């Protein structure tokens, strides 16, 4: 790593997906060279948790375990019971740092009746085992907020891939949550999020790539595509710094601290 490279943690990256099998090694090496010092891999379904754990161990990353709303089905209770066994057997396993990815997705109405109790069960486990939670909240903010109020969490969590205005952001922040800021901030058409970021304290954010597919890489301007810049995480820092009229170094340090604190790394 060059000494002038800004150190970053990716708070949400699906490195365990089999999509990456052929080039995981190369991708991680590249990201590390660009300043990535750690990453949190959120597990998405009970079938894939073993791989999540393995990949995290192999590449010295941290991970979460949960049932993503897209993977929620009528067997959710079996999954949640398995999740609790995983947590109990982690045996002071320090790499497991969160419950999730879990949450609600209003675009997926077909399994909605299972998404709700499944997310509720994740909230119960997060509080019982004092772990922060990684929340996927899409087209379901009212429902997510209502559940977060009903199940207050000592360790809070992160609303990953947050998109919304300052009003919505504040409702999550008031509940002790952080906002996971990803590529939507770099979308010129997405106006609400930059406006919100101007007005929120710097302690509110963590950053993420949410990389899930090899084809996602095209969305992400890596070093070879953008002059002098590097990882999407650096572009996010730069954008937050511009919006808040602060320096990149200050923003990167605070966001780094936020991530350490959120996951107790
Ligand atoms: Zn995700």
**66 within 8 A of 40, measured Cβ to Cβ:** no
Q: In angstroms, what is the span from residue 68 Cα to ligand 1's centroid?
A: 8
Q: In angstroms, what is the span from residue 216 Cα to ligand 1's centroid?
A: 12
Q: In angstroms, what is the span from residue 227 Cα to ligand 1's centroid?
A: 28
pLDDT of residue 220: 55
Q: In angstroms, what is the span from residue 200 Cα to ligand 1's centroid?
A: 23
pLDDT of residue 216: 62
Domains and CATH numbers, the chain: 8-263 (3.20.20.140)
Q: In angstroms, what is the span from residue 102 Cα to ligand 1's centroid?
A: 9
Q: In angstroms, what is the span from residue 41 Cα to ligand 1's centroid?
A: 9
* Alpha carbon distance 168, 166 (integer Å): 5
* Alpha carbon distance 263, 10 (integer Å): 12
Q: In angstroms, what is the span from residue 210 Cα to ligand 1's centroid?
A: 5
Q: In angstroms, what is the span from residue 3 Cα to ligand 1's centroid?
A: 30
**80 within 8 A of 67, measured Cβ to Cβ:** yes
Mark the residues whose beta carbon lies below 5 A from ion ligand 1: 101
* Alpha carbon distance 36, 216 (integer Å): 18
| Bind-site residues for a divalent metal cation | 12, 14, 101, 136, 160, 210
Strand ranges of the sheet holding 62-65, from the earlier edge strand across to the other edge: 8-10, 36-42, 62-65, 96-105, 133-138, 157-160, 177-181, 205-207
Q: What angle do CA 180, 33, 213 make, to 5 degrees?
A: 50
pLDDT tens, residue order, the chain (265 aa): 555 688 999 999 999 999 889 888 988 888 888 889 999 999 999 999 999 999 999 999 999 999 999 999 999 999 999 999 999 987 666 799 999 999 999 999 999 999 999 999 999 999 999 999 999 999 999 999 999 999 999 999 999 999 999 999 999 999 999 999 998 998 888 899 999 999 999 999 999 999 876 666 665 554 444 333 457 899 899 999 999 999 999 999 999 999 999 999 9
Q: In angstroms, what is the span from residue 67 Cα to ligand 1's centroid?
A: 11
């Amino acid at each position: 790593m060059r000494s002038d490279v800004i150190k970053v943690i990716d708070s949400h990256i699906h490195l365990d997906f089999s999509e990456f099998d052929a080039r995981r090694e190369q991708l991680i090496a590249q990201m590390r060279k660009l300043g990535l010092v750690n990453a949190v891999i959120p597990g998405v379904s009970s079938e894939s948790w073993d791989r999540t754990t393995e990949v995290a161990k192999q590449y010295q990353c941290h991970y979460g375990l949960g049932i993503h709303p897209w993977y929620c089905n009528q067997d959710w209770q079996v999954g949640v019971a398995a999740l609790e066994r995983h947590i109990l057997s982690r045996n002071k396993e320090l790499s497991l740092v969160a419950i999730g990815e879990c949450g609600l997705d209003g675009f997926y109405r077909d399994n909605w009746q299972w998404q709700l109790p499944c997310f509720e069960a994740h909230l119960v486990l997060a509080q019982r085992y004092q772990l922060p939670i990684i929340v996927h909240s899409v087209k379901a903010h009212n429902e997510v907020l209502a559940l977060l109020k009903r199940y207050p969490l000592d360790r809070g969590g992160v609303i990953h891939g947050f998109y919304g205005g300052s009003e919505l952001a504040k409702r999550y922040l008031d509940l002790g949550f952080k906002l996971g800021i990803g590529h939507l901030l770099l979308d010129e058409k997405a106006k609400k999020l930059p406006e919100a970021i101007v007005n929120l304290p710097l302690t509110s954010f963590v950053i993420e790539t949410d990389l899930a597919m090899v084809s996602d890489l095209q969305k992400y301007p890596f070093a070879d595509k953008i002059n002098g810049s590097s990882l999407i995480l650096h572009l996010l820092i730069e954008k937050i710094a511009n919006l808040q009229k602060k320096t990149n170094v200050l923003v990167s340090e605070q966001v780094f601290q936020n991530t350490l604190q959120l996951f107790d790394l």
